Amino acid sequence: MSRSTQRPAPPRRQRTEDRRPQIADAALRILASKGAAHLTAAELGREVGIADSTIFRHYRDMDEVVLAGIDRVRALLDQTFPPPEDPPLARLRALFLGRLALMHEHPAVLRLASSDRLEQVAGPEGARRLRETILRSRRYIEACLREAQARGEIPAQLDATVLGWMVRGTLQVAVASTAGPRSSESRTPEAVWEVVEALLRGARHHVTAGESP
Amino acid sequence: MSRSTQRPAPPRRQRTEDRRPQIADAALRILASKGAAHLTAAELGREVGIADSTIFRHYRDMDEVVLAGIDRVRALLDQTFPPPEDPPLARLRALFLGRLALMHEHPAVLRLASSDRLEQVAGPEGARRLRETILRSRRYIEACLREAQARGEIPAQLDATVLGWMVRGTLQVAVASTAGPRSSESRTPEAVWEVVEALLRGARHHVTAGESP
Amino acid sequence: MSRSTQRPAPPRRQRTEDRRPQIADAALRILASKGAAHLTAAELGREVGIADSTIFRHYRDMDEVVLAGIDRVRALLDQTFPPPEDPPLARLRALFLGRLALMHEHPAVLRLASSDRLEQVAGPEGARRLRETILRSRRYIEACLREAQARGEIPAQLDATVLGWMVRGTLQVAVASTAGPRSSESRTPEAVWEVVEALLRGARHHVTAGESP
Amino acid sequence: MSRSTQRPAPPRRQRTEDRRPQIADAALRILASKGAAHLTAAELGREVGIADSTIFRHYRDMDEVVLAGIDRVRALLDQTFPPPEDPPLARLRALFLGRLALMHEHPAVLRLASSDRLEQVAGPEGARRLRETILRSRRYIEACLREAQARGEIPAQLDATVLGWMVRGTLQVAVASTAGPRSSESRTPEAVWEVVEALLRGARHHVTAGESP
DNA sequence: CATGAATGAGATTTCATTCAT
DNA sequence: TATGAATGAAATCTCATTCAT
């Protein structure tokens, strides 16, 4: 996925403000395509088109680089929170589809976000920030579910927390199953969501007689 | 989580047959508690209580150590496949609960099983084996779901593949949410499964006439 | 023979172009003075005056270092081939004296050139290159001998190949006998060659009168 | 050349007196076939058919093993000294042919004997002993040559020391050229010696007719 | 701002050697 | 006598990071 070599050499001598996002993005790209073990200063420099030592002009640490990458991911994730005026299941749908699209476009997000134990990749501070972001998503999703339960759109007797796990888990596996290079069983995001929503709404089936609509 | 230092120095000089599983288990322990980056020969030796160089008497490579760990995991996972004579949802339930318990007991299993990009940790051969194991689970779960659909126990019109994602995803998040040291929102495994089964069966709610209150 | 410790710390921070030959030469020096077993990165770094890890900035491998050393030797050896317009025995003499001088000055050359089993020192590629160089010398010497035989300057009935062995062997032992620190029996290069040439030309001796049998 | 695997497992539990030569010979075999770098305790044990640690029951050191090997070589070399009552050139011939045959049969001898700088292989003590052996050969050869000169069989005006170098050098190169697996240019030992002797005796060639001066 | 040289810490692995069995 | 387990020293090589230019 990384096209380090073809990338046209960017103009050298850029300002730190310009370099920092370049580096952070490159870090995410490497993380996504080759994994944490390959995220070295040398590889990063190659990806950006600068010397490895130059990285430390713009970031103090490799840790700081990863942190910056995480913050970019967080920004992306935060953009997918739908407007609060929509009804709960619509918001949930928008979030689900948005995240699916996002992770499809930025595989590194998946790599980071789906890992609940990323102290190793991100250092304690990065882990803290990611956990916070995940927590926000969790709360958001649960709030939507509870609101939908209150409105009687989904069964109230089901534990909203566990329903939240279901939504998040399905999202994770869907991304993983769709994203991989060898995935033979991809589904459109909408199709996935429809199943989730059907489950939530209580898919009646043994449909007895003609009372379906 | 690793208690290397407190562990009372185990009797030195053991047979390879005994050492090999000790080392493989220690590797899994480290993987679970500190992550792949800390799975070094030195750390491993410390965990087992032997010198790092001694590891290479019992395993040729670090790769071989990880491979052995993976095989232990695979064996554990394989044990959780329920007997085939049970009805499909009962088998699914047993698998779900079994895996939840297993991953609770062996957190490394989760770490390995949920990692979609484990080439780095496990090397190509290890990745292949793990993928194979995961594939087997996926197929098993989907087969149960399809059988249940055929029996009319769960809605036939829902895409069984996506239902499988849901089951697996919920399992993953459930483990992650329950396992963590700071998890405030734990549920009993049975409670989690009941929600999943209710969803699958199509929890009718608003349904039946005027019984809303 | 290595004076690593006395050497006044050379100016640090040199360009790769300058470091590479320094390192290659140091490798040859160590090879000559302490043997292949002592040609380690640490020793090499000490000899050059840099850290061992710095070597791998300038060469990818230890193998590459040895290869570079071999190429220096090959260049030196190639310089000793005399101009082709001279008569054969003059060319042979020039080659003989040139190589004697060369090996005297660069003992490592001897160590490499006389080693018939240098795969271990040089790796397969290095061995190949060295063999090629040795083969060139062998061919050159034999060609000179054959030409001298054709001119009637040395006995034609003697096997030129074996004569070549004689020339090369004498050269080897002469170097070894002369070079060592404790050699009590040194001869000037010219004196050695004169004996060789006398042998080749067929040193008549008891000459006086016709009393041969 | 090493047939470690096919060798029929020798009876275990032998006395040290029996084991020691087995080990020493195995060391020479490895030295000859794979080079000094492969002469490790593990390899040695495999060659002999015992555990590596068992070696140190019979020899204190690896150095001692090599030393023992050297002594075996010395014994072999010493056996090739011809009886002193023969005429000098006959003795030289016998020595030459004997050594050629010996080194052909025991390539390790060549490896050791032709290396004048073997401190690395043999340690200081081994080097001392080998040097001593070489020195004895050198003296023997020179003595033969001087005696032949005194008898008028070879030119007296030629430096006997250098003649000795010639004889030894030719022997070395002859062995190396003949022994190698890819040697295309082998000669019978006798043929080689005849050239050497012809050279020593002063091969008159342009002979034709009486134009001697 | 940019770089290449340099470095020390650490990782894997090999090996001679010791020791309990 | 024999062995397998254990070990520390050393070798190669990687990597984040510093510094002079």
CATH number, residue C52: 1.10.10.60
How many CB atoms neighbour CB B24 within 10 A? 24
Q: How many independent structural domains does chain D possess?
A: 2
Residue D112 has pLDDT above 80, yes or no: no
Compute the half-sphere exposure of residue B23: CA atoms within 13 Å on the CB side of its CA. 31
Query: Residue C115's pLDDT band (boundaries 50, 70, 90)?
Result: low
Residue C192 has pLDDT above 80, yes or no: yes
A122 lies in the same domain as A183: yes
Helix (H, G, I), strand (E, B) or coil at D201: helix
Once rounded to an integer, what is the mean pLDDT over residues D107-113? Answer: 74
Is any Cβ of chain B less than 8 angstroms from the Cβ of A209?
no
pLDDT at D207: 40
Q: How far, in Å, CA of B115 to CA of B107, rounded?
A: 13
B61 lies in the same domain as B121: no
Q: How far, in Å, CA of D195 to CA of D186, rounded?
A: 14
Average pLDDT, chain C: 85
Residue C208 has pLDDT above 60, yes or no: no
- What CATH number does the domain containing A173 carry? 1.10.357
pLDDT at A182: 57
Which chains border C (3 or more CB–CB pairs < 8 Å)? D
Check if residue B13 sits with its Cβ under 7 angstroms from strand E.
yes
- Answer whether residue C137 is part of any domain: yes
Pairwise pLDDT comparison (A185 vs A70), residue with the higher score: A70
- Answer whether residue A5 is part of any domain: yes
CB-based contact A165:A157 (threshold 8 Å): no
Three-class SS of D90-109: HHHHHHHHHHHHHHHHCHHH
Q: Which of C210, C199, C104, C96 lies closest to D203 in space, CA to CA?
A: C199
Q: D-contacting residues of C 122-151, CB under 8 Å? A: none
Residue D115 has pLDDT above 80, yes or no: no
Query: Residue C203's pLDDT band (boundaries 50, 70, 90)?
Result: low
Q: Residue closest to F6, CA→C1'?
A: B54
Q: How far, in Å, CA of C98 to CA of C81, rounded?
A: 8
- Answer whether residue B111 is part of any domain: yes
pLDDT at C199: 96
Q: Residue closest to F3, CA→C1'?
A: D51
Å between D165 CA and nearest CA of chain C: 6
Which chains border A (3 or more CB–CB pairs < 8 Å)? B
- Answer whether residue A71 is part of any domain: no
Once rounded to an integer, what is the mean pLDDT over residues C61-90? Answer: 93
Distance in Å from the first CA to the final CA of chain D: 54
pLDDT at B181: 59
Residues 38-57/D with CB within 7 Å of nucleic chain E are 39-42, 52-53, 55-56
Residue D94 has pLDDT above 80, yes or no: yes
- Answer whether residue A64 is part of any domain: no
D60 lies in the same domain as D86: no
Q: ∠ at Cα B45 (B43, B47), nearest 5°?
A: 70
Compute the half-sphere exposure of residue B192: CA atoms within 13 Å on the CB side of its CA. 33
D197 lies in the same domain as D93: yes
Q: How far, in Å, CA of D103 to CA of D94, rounded?
A: 14
B50 lies in the same domain as B126: no
Check if residue D35 sits with its Cβ under 7 angstroms from strand E.
no
Which nucleotide comes closest to B53 if you measure CA to C1'?
A: F7
CB pairs under 8 A between A and B: 140
Check if residue C90 sits with its Cβ under 7 angstroms from strand F.
no
Report CA(A61)–C1'(E7) in Å, whole number.
17
D143 lies in the same domain as D195: yes
D156 lies in the same domain as D134: yes
Is any Cβ of chain C less than 8 angstroms from the Cβ of D174?
yes
Q: Which residue of C has its CA nearest to D135?
A: C177
Report CA(A7)–C1'(E1) in Å, whole number.
21
Query: Which stretches of chain B drop beneath a pLDDT of 50?
Result: 1-9, 11, 116, 205-213
Task: List, for residues A151-177, the tens digit of each pLDDT value.
Answer: 999 999 999 999 999 999 999 899 888
- Answer whether residue A207 is part of any domain: no
Q: How far, in Å, CA of B138 to CA of D114, rounded?
A: 67
Contacts of D159 in chain C (CB under 8 A): 187, 191, 195
Distance in Å from the first CA to the final CA of chain C: 52
Q: Which of B96, B195, B75 lies closest to B140 in space, CA to CA?
A: B96
Q: How far, in Å, CA of B21 to CA of B65, rounded?
A: 9
Q: Which residue range is the domain that position A30 belongs to?
A: 1-59
For residue B124, the one-letter residue type is P
Distance in Å from the first CA to the final CA of chain A: 46
pLDDT over 70 for what percent of chain D?
82
- Cα D159 to chain centroid, rounded: 24
CB-based contact A43:A85 (threshold 8 Å): no
- Cα D151 to chain centroid, rounded: 29
Q: How far, in Å, CA of C202 to CA of D165, rounded?
A: 18
Once rounded to an integer, what is the mean pLDDT over residues C48-71? Answer: 96
Residue C8 has pLDDT above 70, yes or no: no
- Answer whether residue B207 is part of any domain: no
pLDDT at A212: 41
Task: List, for residues A46-104, the tens digit of each pLDDT value.
Answer: 999 999 999 999 999 999 999 999 999 889 999 999 988 999 999 999 999 999 998 88
Q: Residue closest to F21, CA→C1'?
A: C13
Pairwise pLDDT comparison (C205 vs C51), residue with the higher score: C51
Q: DSSP alpha helices (H): ranges in B106-159? A: 107-113, 119-150
How many CB atoms neighbour CB D113 within 10 A? 26
CB-based contact B171:A169 (threshold 8 Å): yes
D58 lies in the same domain as D89: no
D145 lies in the same domain as D84: yes
A26 lies in the same domain as A86: no
CB-based contact A145:A152 (threshold 8 Å): no
CB pairs under 8 A between C and D: 139
Average pLDDT, chain A: 84
Task: Report the b/e string of C188-203 with b at 16+ CB within 10 A.
Answer: ebeebbbbbbbbbbbb
Joined together, the tokens standing for residue C97 give: 């004296």
Alpha carbon distances (Å) from A4 to A10, A47, A50, A104, D117: 12, 5, 11, 20, 51
- Answer whether residue A102 is part of any domain: yes
pLDDT at A203: 62
Please indicate whether, in this complex, the C-beta atoms of B170 and A166 are within 8 angstroms of each other.
Answer: yes
B31 lies in the same domain as B88: no
Check if residue D9 sits with its Cβ under 7 angstroms from strand F.
no
Q: How far, in Å, CA of D101 to CA of D117, rounded?
A: 23
Query: Residue D123's pLDDT band (boundaries 50, 70, 90)?
Result: confident
C49 lies in the same domain as C114: no
The set of residues, in sequence order, having a beta carbon less than 8 Å from that of D210 and lying 6+ positions away, is none
Helix (H, G, I), strand (E, B) or coil at A84: coil
Please indicate whether, in this complex, the C-beta atoms of B192 and A162 are within 8 angstroms of each other.
Answer: yes
Contacts of D161 in chain C (CB under 8 A): 185, 187
